[in-house]
Copies of this chain bind each other. A is one copy, B any other.
Amino acid sequence: MGNYGELDELAINTIRLLAVDATFHANSGHPGAPMGMAPVAHVLFNKFMSFNPKNPKWPNRDRFVLSNGHGCMLQYALLHLFGYALSMDDLKHFRHVDSITPGHPESHDTPGIEVTTGPLGQGFSNAVGLAIAQAHTGGVFNKPGFDLFNNHTYVFFGDGCAMEGIASEAASLAGHLQLGNLICIYDDNHISIDGDTKVSFTEDVTKRFEAYGWHTQWVQHGDNDYDAIEQAIQKAKDVTDKPSMIKLTTTIGFGSLHQGTGAVHGSALKKDDIVQVKKKFGFDPEKSFVVPQPVYDMYHKHAADGAAKEQEWNSLLEKYSSEHKELAEQLKRRLTGDLPKGWQEKLPTYKPTDPAIASRKLSESVLEAIHEVVPELLSGSADLTGSNNTRWKNAVDFQPPSLGIGDWTGRYLRYGVREHGMAAIMNGMSAYGTIIPASGTFLNFVSYAAGAVRLSSLSHQRVIYIATHDSIGLGEDGPTHQPIETLAHFRALPNMMVWRPADGNETSAAYYMALTSKETPSILALTRQNLPQLEASSIEGAIKGGYTALEDKNAQITLVSTGSEVSICLEAVKYLKDNNNIVARVASLPCWEVFDAQSKEYRLSVIPDGIPSMSVEVMTTLGWEKYSHDQFGLNRFGASGAYKDVYKKFEFTPEGIAKRAVATVDFWKDVKPIRSPINRAFTQLI
């Protein structure tokens, strides 16, 4: 057993049995992974990781990510044992409503959880983001004698994560970026939910990671060769120019009568099995949730060492504050999540006489204008830089210096054609605490990233999706690239701001809200085609999520619209007056999520009682019933052609809008009273 003795064994078995007891108590959950990975968890946490349970947010702590999040009782047990604010009672409430020990780890609610995992492949990819953030933050702030940011990021992942494409994307990019502080431990237990992985997963995982440019090792006896585990992790730390993958062969459900089989993967152990495993490990089979005091003592000592390291770091930061005053101030500010005072004065504003510009270009102008005053902004693209307009002119690429095409301080990340990986990496970067990631792809391909976008929302990450080519207005690329369902999808996602600005001021407003909402991600849907600057638009109006773009007290109908269709609605108002003698007003609603948060009085001023409203947006009408009596949209796929031809084909013209507005006015004339859809019978649970 080399450096390891009985106390280590006792600690490892304590972890295993806490997982056994908690899953039994909850009558659900996954004991197998915790029982198999307890040894490596013990070695990693107790020998290598620096953290302070009393301050889980110490900026230079080592990060740990359990990508196989279903094994979260492993992590909850560790957090409890090391002294995080996670009590034995919390373990007993594993998987109970309103506990801080839910079925999969959630970073927003549980101290010590870095990122929300469970959906497979996400945690692994988040870890790549955490490692990028460390390299970048170190690159920006570390100075000779001040190695402020040098933490490691450790990941556990299983066969499920290894099979997911998102993890392949992230691993390929991590290899390219030579992320030396990233150490990933692959739980090679040959079991997934369908049983033996031989039924679907027979590739050579190690060779694949080598192909990505990773350093790889194999620990053959992960159940009991603690020394080999330690040596492998140490070796991985010593390799500083490549990320490391350690294949660790373990026995899932180690100790159970059904160890090594699918039976221990996703169900609690049976009573008799629990009795025998407790006996085998020298524990009292009659007792549950037992932690021997020496185990607490050992782990609390390690925690105290971590607290001391934080103290040292704090002293270093104080010294740094006098020697590198400005940087220190910037760092401290960035850690609060606040932006620098007055940054918003740099946001571009526009007059109606300014030329028509595509909102993807307007977005570029924002980035150009603010990147110097918002140094935490790190932009990028999934290989669409020239189309997404995500790169400011003098941007430096974030690249390993050895490639000669950028460095660690670079604030432009070329993610490659890896949308899902990109989104999860951004979540990890945001979780690190010093960066606001923004990155681009076509709106249609944000859908490739849906799994990770969902976790941006659920885990309250401030990430910005710059989603250009936002409709049929992209033209020639055709239906495969033209979003129809996409905005409805993300508008239905809780805690997500979907912005579709109509002009320059609205684009600036979208950035203002995206950057200042510390706990809400944003999708900015931007056009390829040019948009005129609107008469009534202002940043102040648009940051309310919706405002009156054209008022008329005599209006017979409100046209409610977003983005590229707002200006067409304004033309339709003239057309209606001239041709149909109908008076219309226009509401611009660039962000529903934000609009919904305004007072009812304000919302009713934008979409008033007494007249019908009709929505106009060149995509699905689904959801627009919330703000309108009738809806003009596109509940079919688009068409490939010049954008003006495509708009004409689907009648998104002043005439086409007017025709439907006339029908709407006519249809509602016999209803009394006509209530604005803003009025609801009851309030939703949120």
Chain A positions near chain B (C-beta within 8 angstroms) = 26, 28-29, 69, 95-99, 102-104, 106, 116-121, 159-161, 163-169, 172-173, 175-176, 192-194, 197-208, 210-213, 381, 383-387, 397, 399, 403, 405, 414-418, 420-421, 444-445, 447-448, 450-451, 454-455, 457-458, 475-481, 484-485, 488-495, 612, 614, 620-623, 625-626, 629-637, 639-642, 645-646, 649-651, 659-660, 663-664, 666-668, 670-673, 675, 677, 679-682, 684-686
Contact = CB atoms under 8 A, between A and B. Distances in A.
Nearest to A69: B480
Contacts of A383: 160, 163, 192-194, 200
Contacts of A455: 480
A600 B492 CA distance: 28
B202 A175 contact: yes
Given A165-B420, A417-B163, A622 B492 contact: yes
A383 B199 CA distance: 10
B159 A417 contact: yes
A194 B664 CA distance: 47
Nearest to A262: B386
21 contacts: A97-B639, A97-B640, A97-B642, A98-B639, A106-B480, A159-B417, A165-B165, A176-B202, A194-B384, A194-B385, A194-B386, A198-B403, A200-B416, A208-B208, A208-B212, A447-B450, A447-B451, A448-B450, A630-B682, A635-B684, A635-B685
Copy number of this protein in the oligomer?
Answer: 2
Contacts of A96: 640-642, 645
B421 A165 contact: yes
A19 to B, nearest CB: 15
A475 B193 contact: no
Contacts of A166: 165, 448
A197 B418 CA distance: 13
Contact of A418 (B165, B210, B686): B165
A457 B479 CA distance: 11
B476 A26 contact: yes
Nearest to A644: B97
B448 A451 contact: yes
B165 A620 contact: no
B203 A213 contact: yes
Contact of A193 (B29, B385, B476, B646): B385
A519 to B, nearest CB: 13
Given A199-B405, A203-B176, A445 B454 contact: no
B211 A476 contact: no
A566 B684 CA distance: 19
Contact of A95 (B26, B116, B476, B488): B476
A175 B163 contact: no
Given A169-B163, A454-B447, A485 B476 contact: no
A212 B670 CA distance: 67
A457 B638 CA distance: 13
B478 A95 contact: yes
B201 A119 contact: no
Contacts of A421: 165
A165 B168 contact: yes
A199 B165 contact: no
Given A97-B641, A164-B169, A635-B685, 6 more contacts: A103-B477, A194-B381, A208-B212, A484-B493, A494-B636, A495-B636
A618 B14 CA distance: 39
A448 B452 CA distance: 9
A194 B414 contact: yes
A417 to B, nearest CB: 4
Nearest to A122: B480
A167 B192 CA distance: 21
Contacts of A637: 457-458, 494-495
Nearest to A624: B625
Contacts of A173: 200
B484 A492 contact: yes
Contact of A203 (B104, B202, B212, B495): B212
A666 B488 CA distance: 30
Nearest to A168: B168
A164 B418 contact: yes
A102 B478 contact: yes
B28 A476 contact: yes
A193 B680 CA distance: 48
Give the interface centre of A203, A650, A680 by most chain B CB atoms within 10 Å.
A203
B682 A671 contact: no
B478 A485 contact: no
B160 A175 contact: no
Given A165-B166, A640-B103, A650-B685, A480 B668 contact: no
A159 B478 CA distance: 22
A531 to B, nearest CB: 20
Contacts of A420: 165, 420, 448
Contacts of A168: 165, 168-169
Contacts of A457: 637
A685 B165 contact: no
A508 to B, nearest CB: 27
A636 B387 contact: no
